[in-house]
Amino acid sequence: MTAHSPIETKSASPLTEHKAATGAVDAALEGFARAFEAFKEANDTRLGEIETRLSADVLTEEKLARIDTALDEARFRLDRISLDRARPPLAGSDGGRATSRAPSIRLPSISMFGPARARD
């Protein structure tokens, strides 16, 4: 009598490669690096203005704010790519290889006492 284990192991699952996503990661990292270099340059300019005039130019401050926003957006894209790559693949009609990723959904929050119940 042969006993079959209902537990799936990692060795039974097919290996998936993430080479396609590497291009997106490289592009996001490159954009982040460019934005960071621009931020450093603009901040150095602002510091120079503060040292000579005891205040920074308004245009320099606005430029720093725009670059800071671009850095936040680049960080968000990198986080999103990282989360998408960490998501397990869906089994498809192609023998268990990943065909698509599950869409990001927002789950309803549940308090520590369970879901809210309607009162009579």
102 lies in some domain: no
93 lies in some domain: no
95 lies in some domain: no
66 lies in some domain: yes
Tell me how many domains the chain contains: 1
Q: Is the pTM here over 0.85, yes or no?
A: no
Give 39-81 pLDDT, tens digit per residue. 999 999 999 988 888 888 899 999 999 999 999 998 999 999 8
> What's the gap between Cα 76 and its chain centre?
5
109 lies in some domain: no
Is 35 exposed, middle or buried, given 0-12, 13-18 or 19+ CB atoms closer than 10 A? buried
Question: Would you tell me how many other CB atoms lie within 10 Å of the CB of residue 42?
Answer: 20
Give 82-115 pLDDT, tens digit per residue. 888 888 877 765 555 545 555 555 555 555 555 5
Query: Which residue range is the domain that position 35 belongs to?
Result: 20-86
